[in-house]
Structure 1
Amino acid sequence: MNLNFNQSLAKKYKSEPQKIRVLSEDWVAKQSYCPNCNTEPLAAFTNGKPVADFYCANCDEQYELKSKKAKLSNIINDGAYATMIERINSKDNPSFFFLTYSQEYRVNNFLIIPKQFFKPDMIIKRKPLSVTAKRAGWVGCNIDLRKVPESGKVFLVKDQQVIPRDNVTEQFQKTLFLRTQSIASRGWTLDILQCIDKLEANFSQSGLCVCRLIKTQIS
């Protein structure tokens, strides 16, 4: 996996957001693969898909890409609030790729949060745009990643180190059971997993064994 962006593609763009969109989407299309079934390459949706950028032609998983320079923050800007809530509550909501890159346009981190880890209370509603704005009244949203347990953060690249594909697929598939649960039940399970993450940070070695046993029983 080549972690460098193809910077030649950005020469005709003046806006930095436009450059990053082109560079990051090209990188994912050429360097990434489906974390669910290991198929490559991923196919790109035509422009205009409300909440997805890529899909796997083999298993039909859908993916939305978010890119950011330097570190990944806990709060991520997203699109229309109503569209995002609608997709989360539907059966074909996408999983999310999050990509961070260096000043040299090299991928630092590339991870996926599978769609089963998204729930409505993760989506923060923003204030409507003012009446003087071009899209007056439009309501956007943010994604709160603090509500995602560690088991829901599947790295393909971490600190510029490529994670073995088998490890990625194994971690991704380990939580697929959540997709069979109702939104309410899934929310409860995710809350429990988050609580266990917090306990693990403070427990002794024996306590860690208990936490891991509980995780095993849940999954």
Structure 2
Amino acid sequence: MDLRFNTSLAEGYKSASQIARVLTEDWLARNMYCPICGEVTIRRAEPNAPVKDYVCEHCKSQYELKSKRSDSESFQATVADGVYRTMIGRITSLDNPSFFFMHYDRYEVNNLVIVPKCFFTPSVIEKRDALATTARRAGWEGCNILMREIPTTAKIPIIKNGVALPVEEVVSQYHRVFNLQTKSVESRGWLMDTLHLVERLDETFTLKQMYSFVDELQVKHPDNNHIPDKIRQQLQFLRDKGIIEFKGSGVYRKKQL
């Protein structure tokens, strides 16, 4: 995998954002495989396809790319995206795309992760203020993707600090994480919340520690009057999916992905 951009494509462009878009989109189309089925290439989607930049011809998986110039391994807290309503409509359809998040510097990729589609819920999408009445697109409402609200478990590395990981390793990890896919947006929300809480605890943790988050979860789920029951249900789900293991007597241990 060649991590360098084809800078000749930038000729004729003056806008830094346009140059970045052209170079990063071209790089992904030329170099990226499908992290889901391992197909050696993915193609660009039809022009102006909503919340979809690339498609795998083999498994029909959909992807969108978000990129930023940075030499940091850690991805920023928020990532700007397009129309808020369009994004919410796509991610609640259960036919939403997975997302590539790229960091590049000096015209080459240094970090690239993929977040499976099952980790996108309305809670990770923030509506931006509508454009002023004096703006060319007055009233337009964009959105931000709140990267800080996506569990670390869901950010699967493809390129890390300028080194591409083996394809088989990426595909294997994707399937293990995507195994957490649920059948409803509400279930996705509980999965996200529970994973976030588990990630805040030590490698070995207890049910009692999880219960200490009841009040926090109650704020997020005000209509649920059985939060402790839901916590136990979610821990059992994560155990059955191989993310954590139950050691007995209310003790759990995280498993390495």
Q: Is the 8 A contact 1:53 1:65 kept in 2?
A: yes
Q: Is the 8 A contact 2:83 2:143 kept in 1?
A: yes
Aligned to 2:100: 97
**3-state DSSP of counterpart to 2:65:** strand
Aligned to 1:139: 141
- Rg larger for: 2
Per the TM alignment, residue 87 of structure 1 is displaced from its structure 2 partner at its CA by 0.3
Q: Is the 8 A contact 1:189 1:218 kept in 2?
A: no
Counterpart code for 1:195: L
Q: Is the 8 A contact 1:33 1:42 kept in 2?
A: yes
Per the TM alignment, residue 179 of structure 1 is displaced from its structure 2 partner at its CA by 2.9
What is the TM-score with the length of structure 1 in the denominator? Answer: 0.91
Amino-acid identity (%): 44
- 2: distance between equivalents of 1:208 and 1:167? 28
- 2: distance between equivalents of 1:114 and 1:24? 20
Return closer, same or farther for 1:214/1:3 CA change in 2, 3 Å cut-off.
farther
Q: Is the 8 A contact 2:118 2:182 kept in 1?
A: no
Aligned to 1:58: 58
* Runs of 4+ displaced beyond 4 Å: 208-211, 213-216
Question: How far does the alpha carbon of each residue in 1:73-101 deviate from its partner, in whole angstroms, 9 at most, with x for none?
Answer: 11000000000000010122111101110
Figure out how many residues of one structure are paired with residues of the other and give that number. Answer: 212
Return closer, same or farther for 1:94/1:44 CA change in 2, 3 Å cut-off.
same
Counterpart code for 1:96: F
Per the TM alignment, residue 218 of structure 1 is displaced from its structure 2 partner at its CA by 4.6
Question: How far does the alpha carbon of each residue in 1:51-72 deviate from its partner, in whole angstroms, 9 at most, with x for none?
Answer: 1100100111100001100043
What pairs with 1:18-33 in structure 2 (closer than 5 Å)?
A: 18-33=18-33
- 1: distance between equivalents of 2:187 and 2:201? 21
Aligned to 1:167: 169
Counterpart code for 1:99: M
Q: Is the 8 A contact 1:78 1:142 kept in 2?
A: yes
Aligned to 2:67: 67
Counterpart code for 2:114: I
Question: How far does the alpha carbon of each residue in 1:113-170 deviate from its partner, in whole angstroms, 9 at most, with x for none?
Answer: 1110001011101111000000001111101011111220011101111111111111
Q: Is the 8 A contact 1:109 1:157 kept in 2?
A: yes
Between 1:45-54 and 1:136-145, the stretch displaced more is 45-54
What pairs with 1:68-217 in structure 2 (closer than 5 Å)?
A: 68-70=68-70, 71=72, 72-102=75-105, 104-200=106-202, 207=204, 217=239
- 1: distance between equivalents of 2:20 and 2:84? 23
User: Structure 1: 5+ residue runs without aligned partners?
Assistant: none
Per the TM alignment, residue 11 of structure 1 is displaced from its structure 2 partner at its CA by 1.2
Per the TM alignment, residue 178 of structure 1 is displaced from its structure 2 partner at its CA by 3.3
- 2: distance between equivalents of 1:113 and 1:214? 23
Aligned to 2:4: 4
Q: Is the 8 A contact 2:55 2:61 kept in 1?
A: yes
**3-state DSSP of counterpart to 2:131:** coil
Per the TM alignment, residue 46 of structure 1 is displaced from its structure 2 partner at its CA by 2.4
Q: Is the 8 A contact 1:193 1:215 kept in 2?
A: no
Q: Is the 8 A contact 1:117 1:190 kept in 2?
A: yes
What is the TM-score with the length of structure 2 in the denominator? Answer: 0.78
- 1: distance between equivalents of 2:108 and 2:26? 13
**3-state DSSP of counterpart to 1:175:** helix
Counterpart code for 1:185: S
Q: Is the 8 A contact 2:55 2:63 kept in 1?
A: yes
Per the TM alignment, residue 176 of structure 1 is displaced from its structure 2 partner at its CA by 2.5
Q: CA RMSD of the aligned region, Å? A: 2.0
